[in-house]
Amino acid sequence: MKNKLIDITKDNFIEKIPPENGVYKFIDKNKNVLYVGKSVNLKSRISSYFTSKLLPKTKKMISDSKYIFFIITKNEFESLILEAELIKKEKPKYNVVQKDDKSPLYIKITEEEFPRVILCRKTEIKRDKKTSYFGPYLSSRDAKNVIRTIRRFIPFSDHKPERKPCFYYQIGLCNPCPSLIKKITNQKIKNHLKSTYLKNINKVKNILKGNILPVKKKLEKELKTLIEEEKYEEAKELSKRLDFFERVIQKKTDPQEYLENPNLIFDIRREEIKSLKNFLKKYYKIRKIKRIECFDISHISGSNVVGSMVAFVDGDKKPSLYRKFKIKKPKNNDPASMREIIQRRLNHLTDWGTPDLIIIDGGRPQLSNIFDLLSESQIPFVGIAKKEEELILPVLGKNKVRFLRKKIKGENFGNLIIRIRDESHRFAQKYYHLLQTKIKSA
């Protein structure tokens, strides 16, 4: 489904909006943007404008609107950055007046010996060439979330040098701390730490501008240098930060790319599916990959074992096709539990539809236990091992099944597989916790 203007005066227009991360715009009949917002679930958020009691200002905005337009993003962090870019570009009428008449928040990087990363209101902005401002952000929660997220992989200071290092220095979020640097008498060490701090500030600026890949490459280069210099403790700490950075960013896309091509996420997903199909064709007879289903098992020490099935169509999750399974057979046996839910799934090929590919959240034991079932159904299937993020491919040789392993990190289709697996895990966990709550309240 391509992005296009959706007429909100038509019946069932909500069905055209996906339950995805993204940014949305309310637009009037003259194609003027009235409001820009963001949500982790576009469908749910936009629906709320038409099912909830609205404040007068919001009610007027909806009555003035004729269309809605949305842009899907990879994650919440991208939505935050893109929302700020769109508000700055479009200057929407209903984004101007904030709650309690407060002006929008900006992230400010001061021009000092040790620049600070702080928040400020639009009314506090001083137009000089030295100080950097990023935003606007429509709530303090959003702005703080951006700062908090970045600080977890790039430490910086929000205070001026003081008598002793701050609390955040102790937990690695202000390291090196300007208060510590100022007290050092060895000029060589002092210069080195100051240079490190200023490099961190430069990285923060680049991320807020959307220049993500250069920052990632610099962090990787710094990690390599630390290992070569046998500074293993520092390397271990930087490696943790880099891992978190990659999880948050997930091949971060420059906001400008979304502005130039609102269909970017659909184009990316089409390429992911094409890449996956080309890879799997080496091992399976596969004509198309439109519908992918993923199965997961969830429990704690074998109690209340549940299974989940999630479905993605053209790379988009389709919650209406999700299914939950309460395991009936003996507990604490993941391969047996997986066999049970696959058997139950295969009993519904006619009424639920047939997938083009099945992904099993598990490795060789789970795949071995269901090989006969899925081979007979002639539905291609693979497993994904959590620890190494490897795709497990069962291939039938001469009277023997071989299990090939393929690392998917860095592959074009890798993000698609991991995204589907993570959604399956989330859905299974949600069902498990629901059952636990019912048991405790009984």
Cβ neighbour number for residue 48 with a 10 Å cutoff: 12
Number of structural domains found in the chain: 3
- This prediction's pTM: 0.60
> Residue 64: what pLDDT?
94
Whether residues 72 and 35 fall in one domain: yes
Whether residues 410 and 281 fall in one domain: yes
pLDDT per residue as tens, the chain (442 positions): 566 789 999 888 999 898 888 999 999 999 999 999 999 889 999 999 998 788 888 889 999 999 999 998 888 888 888 888 888 888 898 886 544 445 678 889 988 899 999 988 877 777 766 788 887 787 777 888 888 888 888 889 998 988 888 888 888 888 899 999 988 889 998 998 899 899 999 988 888 876 777 788 888 888 888 888 888 888 888 887 777 777 666 555 666 677 667 777 788 888 899 999 999 988 888 889 999 999 998 875 556 788 899 999 998 888 899 998 888 876 678 888 899 999 999 999 999 999 999 999 888 888 988 998 988 888 999 999 876 778 999 887 777 888 888 888 778 898 899 889 888 888 887 776 676 666 555 5
> Residue 99: what pLDDT?
44
- Non-local (6+) Cβ contacts of 99 within 8 A are none
Whether residues 125 and 197 fall in one domain: yes
Identify whether 1 is part of a domain: no
Whether residues 230 and 119 fall in one domain: yes
Identify whether 198 is part of a domain: yes
> Residue 427: what pLDDT?
85
Identify whether 260 is part of a domain: no
> Residue 137: what pLDDT?
80
> Residue 24: what pLDDT?
94
Whether residues 215 and 294 fall in one domain: no
Whether residues 272 and 368 fall in one domain: yes
Whether residues 325 and 430 fall in one domain: yes
Amino acid, res. 239: S
Range of the domain at 50: 6-95
> Residue 340: what pLDDT?
92
Last residue of a domain, one of 194, 223, 255: 255
Whether residues 22 and 122 fall in one domain: no
Q: How many CA atoms lie within 13 Å of 311's alpha carbon, on the beta-carbon side?
A: 16
Whether residues 162 and 21 fall in one domain: no
CATH of the domain at 292: 3.30.420.340
> Residue 439: what pLDDT?
59
> Residue 35: what pLDDT?
93
> Residue 426: what pLDDT?
82
Last residue of a domain, one of 95, 122, 142: 95
> Residue 442: what pLDDT?
53
Tokens of 28: 């009037």
> Residue 128: what pLDDT?
66
Whether residues 333 and 401 fall in one domain: yes
Identify whether 74 is part of a domain: yes
Last residue of a domain, one of 48, 64, 95: 95
- Non-local (6+) Cβ contacts of 419 within 8 A are none
